[in-house]
Structure 1
Amino acid sequence: MQFLVVMWISSLLVGTQAQSTASFSRGNDRNKRCQYTFMVDSPTEASCPATASSAEIEALKSRLGLVEALISRLAGGEATDTEAQTGLRTAYTQVIGDRDRLQQENTRLGQQVKQLQQTVEELQREAERLRSRPCPQQSSQSVPLYDSSRQTGTDPSWSYGSPAYQELKAEVAEFPAPRTENTESIRGCGELLWVGEPVTHRKADSIAGRYGVWMQDSAEATGPYGPNMVWRIDTVGTEVRQLYGYEDMDQLSRGFPAKVLLLPEAVESTGAAMYRGSLYYQRRRSRTLIRYELGSESIAARRDLPHAGFHGQFPYSWGGYTDIDFAVDENGLWVIYSTNKAKGAIVVSQLDPHSLEVMNSWETNIRKATVANAFMICGRLYTVASYGSPNTTVNYTFDTATSQSKAIAVPFQNRHRYNSMIDYNPAQKKLFAWDNYHMVSYDIRLGKQQ
């Protein structure tokens, strides 16, 4: 028996020599009985086959790799989409903001249009009311403040078509008429005794009209345009060449020019004047005087003013290159300027209106840079003290007949506080002025000083 057991064990050992290993174990089974277990390699396979498990693992790895790649791509796409969405949101916000601003601007402009329409309607109703109102009767003993009422027998605000009728009536009621004693005829010559309240005829439409010159020809006007024609030049700019013509004061106040002329030479400053069918002005950046004939629309004469300062050498106190200033009065055509020889004092010369030749000259003792403006009346030079003070004076006069000057104090108002032009119109017996965009006129009274 022992031999059989030994043989059996030997056969097992011999049978397993070619195998890798053999194992023996001992343990209790479920019934707690001792159980011996031998494990040897298979004769054909060194280990249990794991091909199927490895394939599953590899497939799982492959799928996991695909999932990881997909997650990476999705993560990258989300970042790109986020940046794109952020850019789109920014652009959308800007567009919405622009749209809101445009809507607000459109609303504001619409409100302005409605306000302007209401203003126009109110002015039209006021004009209709004034047209239906009978003209007031003038007292034979009263002296009205406006020359237009003397000439037409109507209220001056009506004759100029002014919408500020109530304001003008209040001014007439508030300020008494000037005294009439010791005066000459208002149509004759004399010394300046009184300057009335400024009457506004029009306000310029743009910045080009902050400074300017406006004028009417005298009663001796020749050519295609009569004395009722009103002329205007806006002098803000480097090439000022446009001359606007209006049929009368009413058309000026309405802003409807009947003629626009393009001057062949640019205008320097606010010193131009109209006389006997010609415009007289200083050519820009020179001492050259020009006579522009309205009938032929061409330059009829030109001449240099001897030794005259120009382009800021001897201006009025407000500046504006007002070195050479034309003036017209009952005695003819004048030019107001200064020279180096006069050392800045005002020089007055009377000109031949056809050739522009200097016929006579007077050197005054009035410093040109210390006065705001000057004009001629009946052969006398008058200067204004301030261009900006609302209440100033006509402060000096120089008489060319006697070559004597003296200080005076005739009250004068700069209602709009920047008066850049003052000229006398002998036909209307008025002063014309350009006060900070506004074209205004003043009634005056002449007589004999006591």
Structure 2
Amino acid sequence: MFLFLSLCLCGLLLQGDAQDQASLWRGNDRSGRCQYTFSVPSPTETSCPQTGGPEVEGLKARLNLLEVLVSRLTGGNTGAPQGADAKSQSALQEALNRAVGERNLLQGEKERLERDLEGLQRRVEDMKRETEKLRNRPCPPQTPMVQPSPSLQDSGLMRPAGGSSVLSHLMNRPNRQGDSSSLIDSAWQYGSPGFQEMKAEVTEVPAPDNTEEYTGCGVLISVGEPVTHKKAESIAGKYGVWMQDPEAVPPYGSNMVWRIDTVGSNIRQLFGYEDMDQLSKGFPSKVLLLPESVESTGATLYRGSLYYQRRLSRTLIRFDLSSESVAARRDLPHANFHGQAPYSWGGYTDIDLAVDEQGLWAIYSTNKAKGAIVISQLNPHNLEVKKSWETNIRKNSVANSFIICGRLYTVASYTAPNTTLNYMYDTESSQGKAITIPFRNKHRYNSMIDYNPTQRKLFGWDNFHIVSYDVRLGRPQAN
């Protein structure tokens, strides 16, 4: 009996001790229902081969799922998905590069087509002007030839010794060039056969005097054929300006030739050649670095200084060649610049500087002039405007212009091989008028035309080629 009681007491003590060490765990199962779990240490085992319960395993699975989702959202995938994303990004980048390249090609093609369209439009305008001239020209009469009156026939004045009519003989005799066509003047107006007299209106025209060349300052009569002196070596010389100082001062002589290639955005090099022969050979004897970039082909030389427009501004600069420094700087008042009023060929030719027998000039336009050419005579020392004239021809309607003896002349086309000087403005009388003087663009892209009063030539830059033209002046007509 005592032994039985002892065993029961030991069992109760062990049970109580086990209950004291028991633990309760509560959590949701996979279906979402609440589940209670009691944990009691084993009396014979110190540890279990597996820890945790099904809830822990479910929690681990959920954590793994969340890690995968977060990794995908942040772009941190590993393994095969990451390689696939890299390939996709590479393909997208390659497609983008192809699209950008095609866009650049299309943009270049668009610009080329726009230039071609502008050229065609100018040709259409030239053809329209020529058509208007032809329409306004009087047509020759188509009336039959009048028979001589009986009185003239009877008098014997119309019948030579051979028996044929004197008038018929004169009309059919060959001219000096051997042309046997009729010599009937198309301007004669014939009356009806009833008239007994023949009438002709004669306009007296003075015969040209070719015995002596006029050397004074006069009106431009003709421009000779272009003479090519040099072709540029690279694409940088497609456009440019070349000059000789009409009033050179030491240390450079009057034979010195200067040149600037104007293709590019930072044009600062001025090349000097001892004479035309060295220019044609391409051997410069002097290279100067200008302090400011040059804008386009409007520069000129005068009395030992280079005058040019600073890029992206209306500022004019006088650069002294002897000291190689800036001698003067001034804004041209209200002048358009950088594509606001260029010549028809473009090239940011808004301000064109020129020299003639009367000094230094600027050819440009303003907002007030609404694109019409404005001429200003400048003080060559400090670049102040002395006097200005406003013409009635638009600057972007002409290809180029130059000044001779205070008269502005404009060129109709820069690409047509056979074009004309189509307008002249006289600053002395402040009058302008249309003219027609033949002019040649031998290489079909003339980007610079300037006059040299000492050489009495026009200097041009025609599609990589440095050219010059002889000019002939005549005595100015009295008003």
Relative to the length of structure 2, the TM-score reads: 0.56
Deviation at 1:365, TM superposition (A): 0.4
The answer for unaligned runs of 5 or more in structure 2 is 1-206
Matches within 5 A, 1:74-89: none
Matches within 5 A, 1:299-378: 299-378=326-405
Could you say what secondary structure the match of 2:316 adopts?
A: strand
In the other structure, the counterpart of 2:242 is 214
In the other structure, the counterpart of 1:123 is none
Could you say what secondary structure the match of 2:217 adopts?
A: coil
Matches within 5 A, 1:40-439: 181=209, 185-218=213-246, 220-439=247-466
Is residue 425–residue 432 contact of structure 1 (8 Å, CA) maintained in 2?
A: yes
Higher relative contact order (CA 8 A, sep 6+): 1
For residues 238-283 of structure 1, the C-alpha deviation after alignment (integer angstroms, 9 at most, x for no partner) is 0000000000001000111010000010000000000000000000
Deviation at 1:182, TM superposition (A): 7.5
The answer for unaligned runs of 5 or more in structure 1 is 1-178
Which one-letter code corresponds to 1:297 in the other structure? E
Is residue 300–residue 308 contact of structure 2 (8 Å, CA) maintained in 1?
A: yes
Could you say what secondary structure the match of 1:256 adopts?
A: coil
CA distance in 2, matches of 1:345, 1:357: 21
Is residue 257–residue 275 contact of structure 2 (8 Å, CA) maintained in 1?
A: yes
Relative to the length of structure 1, the TM-score reads: 0.59
Which one-letter code corresponds to 1:204 in the other structure? A
CA distance in 2, matches of 1:333, 1:449: 21
Give every structure 1 segment of 4 or more consecutive aligned residues whose post-TM-superposition deviation is greater than 6 Å: none
Could you say what secondary structure the match of 2:250 adopts?
A: coil
**CA distance change for structure 1 residues 308 and 183 in 2, over 3 Å: closer, same or farther?**
farther
CA distance in 1, matches of 2:458, 2:265: 27
**CA distance change for structure 1 residues 312 and 186 in 2, over 3 Å: closer, same or farther?**
same
Deviation at 1:227, TM superposition (A): 1.0
CA distance in 2, matches of 1:323, 1:388: 19
CA distance in 1, matches of 2:391, 2:346: 20
Could you say what secondary structure the match of 2:230 adopts?
A: strand
Aligned residues: 271
Deviation at 1:187, TM superposition (A): 2.6
Is residue 193–residue 449 contact of structure 1 (8 Å, CA) maintained in 2?
A: no
Could you say what secondary structure the match of 2:280 adopts?
A: helix
Deviation at 1:343, TM superposition (A): 0.2
Which one-letter code corresponds to 1:378 in the other structure? C
Deviation at 1:188, TM superposition (A): 1.3
Deviation at 1:181, TM superposition (A): 2.0
Identity of aligned residues (%): 76
Is residue 184–residue 448 contact of structure 1 (8 Å, CA) maintained in 2?
A: no
Structure of greater Rg: 1
Which one-letter code corresponds to 1:413 in the other structure? R
Could you say what secondary structure the match of 2:294 adopts?
A: coil
Deviation at 1:186, TM superposition (A): 3.7
CA distance in 1, matches of 2:268, 2:381: 22
Which one-letter code corresponds to 2:227 in the other structure? V
Could you say what secondary structure the match of 2:241 adopts?
A: strand
For residues 306-362 of structure 1, the C-alpha deviation after alignment (integer angstroms, 9 at most, x for no partner) is 000000000000000000000000000000000000000000000000000000000
Which one-letter code corresponds to 2:280 in the other structure? S
Which one-letter code corresponds to 2:398 in the other structure? V
CA distance in 1, matches of 2:294, 2:411: 23
Is residue 216–residue 475 contact of structure 2 (8 Å, CA) maintained in 1?
A: no
Could you say what secondary structure the match of 2:278 adopts?
A: helix
Deviation at 1:184, TM superposition (A): 7.7
